[in-house]
Structure formats: structure tokens, C-alpha cells
A = this chain, B = another copy of it.
Amino acid sequence: MSKEKYDALYARMQTLTDIYGIGGVAQWDMQTHMPPRGAAVRAERLATLTTIGHEWLTSSETGDLIARSEDYVRNQGEDSLEYAIWRVSKRHYDKATVIPSELAADLDRAASNGHVAWVSARKNNDYEGFKPYLQKNIDLLHQVIDLSRGLYPEAEEDYDILLDDYEQGMKTSDIAAVFDQFKVGAKPLVEKVAAHMGDGRDAATFGNFPADQQEKLAREILAAVGFNDDEFDLTKTAHPFEHSMSIHDIRITTKYDEGFFNPCFFGTLHEFGHGIYENQIDDTYERTVLARGVSMAWHESQSRMWENLVGRSLPFWKWAAPKVKAVFPDQFGSMDAEDIYRAVNMMGPSLIRIEADELTYNYHIIIRFELERELLAGTVTVDDLPDAWNAKYKDYLGVDVPDYSDGVLQDVHWSGGSMGYFPTYALGNILGAMLWQKINTELPNLASEFEAGEFGSLRNWSRENIHRHGSFYTPNDLLQKVLGTRTLDAQPQIDFLTAKVNELYG
């Protein structure tokens, strides 16, 4: 009897993954091919699909199947597929059912309105115009938190509850601790690279890079690292992202800045890192709730690994330099692998997060995390926010913020009511460095393989240890399984960056 309930739950969640999967196609299309005037109807259609999915998920039938299959899945053991599917299904159900549909609609509306207001505010350097929308989003998040409190008896502070959407089981206090560790440990490095800013080592990465040539090069590099046309697609977009339609249907998007080499080259490696994670999930999990990377930080650890730990390494450039020089001889023709390696590793404090280098990126994130935490606790208000922002940029990066648009208004996230997401970017970097230490111990020939253009053992290691599990384990259990710890540690990233900065900046 209970097995029947589990089977029915399995089928019910399979339908839900199909609904979300079809919605994903429509969202990918919206950002890649849809002509502008298709937007209004597309939004309506997606809202309809979201409603259908929400009703399907939160129906009493779903709740009943979860309740009645619990005995059965617990009997299978906590390491069973049945238990994992049940656990993740219950998590989705619980999180969705505490939010009444009116509040869900309010959240959507505030996010839409906030986005429109943000676009205009950013364009006009008008923080005052954006402020009421930001306040509205924060008010709604407090409602979500109040309604969700029962699901998180272990929460130490309200921010923990928001964080759980992106990083299940993560504590705000743990993030603060590992970020403080990074801030202190990396500070001398920031000071060192700041002294070298403007030395021109990156001059060749600016110039003339025709889009079709960038695409040709990107496809050549991607093919070597593991992109194949049977399972991957590369398409142009305004704001690059990766989306998996299913385990063997991976969409990578990029944009072509014809004046700057880095965005497409490293952006496609970054999105490939997300894509290969989704692509190497165990086929058994297809069309189940487990067929997704387990958390944002885990995902970012993989994308940043391919972008930075692989793509910005000297062994990689010993292999890639001739290919890049062949496609862009005017820009890179007179440089050797080490020159290009130095050029693409230009570091220095800056204003804009998305243009930040491997070292200073985390500071941009830490600033946002600290401000989100204070906004939610009420120790910083929306009135105080720009001053608090500017003070932290001065303090952590030595940077003066000249206006709102390049300061507190630079990112889209808050306009859509998204808080708790930002820290996962830096956690991904920190986790990536922890993994990289372990990987290099277990795969001692990685450098020489990269020099030969071989990336298979890195893909295999990632598949075996991380990717294939999808969402089978919780993020914390996966950390325990892969690295034998439940605590993030910034020291590997500090050590890695220290060695790299010393090598590149004397």
C-alpha cells in the first residue's frame, strides 16, 4: 500500500518536473530568440504554467501522498533513492504550501514592478525613485519569513530562512565567519595588486574581436573541454546564463563584446562549468526532483572552477595560446602563453562586481551579504543603504563610489526581491578552492594534461564525486562525503590566491 503511494508520488513529481521543464524552454527562448513584442503574452503564458505547477504541487493529493509514503521510504533507508526523492519532494511541497497564492502573486508583482523601477533608476542615477520598491520587497520578504518560520526551528536569525532557498541548511553565522576569514587573509593581496593597476599588462585583451571569430574560438575551446553538439547548444543572449532542459540537453549562452576579449572567452567556460554539472547527473534521476545541481554554491564552485582555476591557469594557456593567437593574430600574435596568462589575470580593486577579477570578486559579494543581513535585521534602513554601501567599498577595496548607478544600483537582484542569493557566488569560489586542493592531490598530473588539452580526468573526477549525485544528498552531506567536513574554509582560496598574486605581481 505504502509502496503504491510512493509510486504515485514519484509519478506526480515527474509531471511537475515536466511542467517546469517546459517552462524552462519558454524562459530560455524568452532570453535568446523571442522578439521584443512577444514579451507580454509570454509573461501571461508563463504565469499560467506557474499557476498550474503550483496547484499541482500544493494540492492536498500531493500532501497526502507525501504523508502516506513516509513509512515506506524510511524503511528503504536514508541512502535509498526512494528516500531522497521523498525528502526533496517534501521540501518543495512544504516551502510552496506555506506561501498563500495571494502573497505569491504580490511577490511576483513587486518583483516585476521593482525591476522596471530599477532599470529606470539605474539609468537616471535615481536611488530615491527605487527606494520604495526596495522597501516593498523587504516588507514582503518579512512576510515570507514569518509564514515560513515553522519550517526552520533551527534558524538563528531571519536571514537563515531566506538563505535556505539557495543554500539549504546554511547558517548566516557560518557565512559571516568564513567571509571574515577571507577578508582578513586576502587583504594584503588586494593592496599588492592595487599598486600595479594600470600597468598595461592586459592591453591586448582590449581591441577588435569580431563576434563571429569569438564564436569560432569559443566553440573550439568548448569542444576541447567537453561540449558536444549531441548534448549542448551555444546561443547568443544579452545576459549570459546556463539552463539545462534535461540531463542531455544543455544550453549555454554568451554575448560578444567586440571590444573586449574576456567576457565571451571566460563567460563560456563559466557557463560550461554549470552545464557539465547538470550534464553529468546520473541518468537514473532524469525527470525526478533530483536531476538538478544541489545548491547555488555547489553550482558556482563548478562554473568558477572552469572559468578561473582551469581557464585562468598557466597550463591551460600553454595549450590555448596558439589557438587564440591563430584566431586573433593582431591582438595576441606577438605574445607567448605566459604573456597572455598575465594579461587575462589582470587584478585590482574596482567598482563593478561583474567586471571584478578572481581576487577582488569576493569583496563585492561580502559587501552585499553584510548589507542584506543588516537590511533584514533593520540595523541598516533603505535610507542608510547608499552611505553604508559607499563606506564598505572605501573600507574593503579603497574605492570611491561616484554615483548610485555604479554603486548601490548596479545589480538587478534586489529589484526582484532576491536576498540570500549573493553570498552563494563567493561561497562557490571558496568551495571551489577547497575542491581544487583535493582534486590536485588525487589527480597529480592535471597541469600536464591541461598543457596537452586534455580535460577528461577533471570531468571524470567531478562526475564521480559531485555531478552524478544531483540533489541526492543535501549540500552539507555532499560536503561531508566529498571533503570530509561540514564547514567551509576560506584558507585554500587564500593560499591559492597568495601563490598566484606572488607569481604574477612579484
List residues of chain A with CB under 8 Å of any chain B CB: 14-15, 18-19, 21-23, 25-26, 28-29, 33-38, 41-42, 44-46, 48-49, 52, 229-233, 235, 245-251, 286-287
* Contact status B246-A42, CB under 8 Å: yes
Chain B proximity of A231: nearest CB distance (Å): 5
Besides A35-B230, A35-B249, A41-B246, 9 other A-B contacts (C-beta < 8 A): A18-B44, A21-B45, A22-B45, A33-B251, A35-B248, A35-B250, A37-B249, A41-B245, A42-B246
Contact of A248 among B21, B22, B38, B251 (CB under 8 A): B38
* Contact status A233-B34, CB under 8 Å: yes
Q: Which of A33, A52, A229 has the most CB atoms of chain B within a 10 A radius of its CB?
A: A33
| 9 residue pairs from A and B, CB less than 8 Å apart | A15-B48, A18-B44, A22-B48, A26-B26, A33-B251, A35-B248, A37-B231, A41-B248, A52-B52
Cα(A232)–Cα(B247), bound, Å = 30
Q: In the assembled complex, which residues on chain B have CB atoms less than 8 Å from the CB atom of A48?
A: 14-15, 18-19, 22
Q: Please state the number of chain copies in the assembly.
A: 2
* Contact status B287-A44, CB under 8 Å: yes
Secondary structure type dominating chain A contacts: helix
Cα(A36)–Cα(B250), bound, Å = 11
Q: In the assembled complex, which residues on chain B have CB atoms less than 8 Å from the CB atom of A248?
A: 35, 37-38, 41
* Contact status A38-B249, CB under 8 Å: yes
Q: In the assembled complex, which residues on chain B have CB atoms less than 8 Å from the CB atom of A26?
A: 22, 25-26
Q: Which of A19, A230, A248, A249 has the most CB atoms of chain B within a 10 A radius of its CB?
A: A249
Q: In the assembled complex, which residues on chain B have CB atoms less than 8 Å from the CB atom of A41?
A: 21, 245-249, 286-287
Q: In the assembled complex, which residues on chain B have CB atoms less than 8 Å from the CB atom of A44?
A: 18, 287
A23 and chain B: residue at smallest CB distance = B22
Cα(A320)–Cα(B232), bound, Å = 39
Cα(A234)–Cα(B22), bound, Å = 22
Q: In the assembled complex, which residues on chain B have CB atoms less than 8 Å from the CB atom of A247?
A: 41
Q: In the assembled complex, which residues on chain B have CB atoms less than 8 Å from the CB atom of A35?
A: 229-233, 248-250
Cα(A444)–Cα(B248), bound, Å = 56
A291 and chain B: residue at smallest CB distance = B41
Cα(A179)–Cα(B384), bound, Å = 79
Known pairs A19-B49, A22-B26, A29-B25; A38 contacts B287 (CB<8 A): no
* Contact status A235-B33, CB under 8 Å: yes
A52 and chain B: residue at smallest CB distance = B52
Complex A-B, nearest 5 residue pairs according to Cβ-Cβ distance, in ascending order: A38-B249, A41-B246, A37-B248, A18-B48, A18-B45
Chain B proximity of A414: nearest CB distance (Å): 29
Chain B proximity of A221: nearest CB distance (Å): 18
* Contact status B22-A46, CB under 8 Å: yes
A36 and chain B: residue at smallest CB distance = B230
A251 and chain B: residue at smallest CB distance = B33
* Contact status A42-B245, CB under 8 Å: yes
Q: In the assembled complex, which residues on chain B have CB atoms less than 8 Å from the CB atom of A229?
A: 35
A29 and chain B: residue at smallest CB distance = B25
Cα(A246)–Cα(B30), bound, Å = 13
A244 and chain B: residue at smallest CB distance = B38
Cα(A47)–Cα(B79), bound, Å = 32
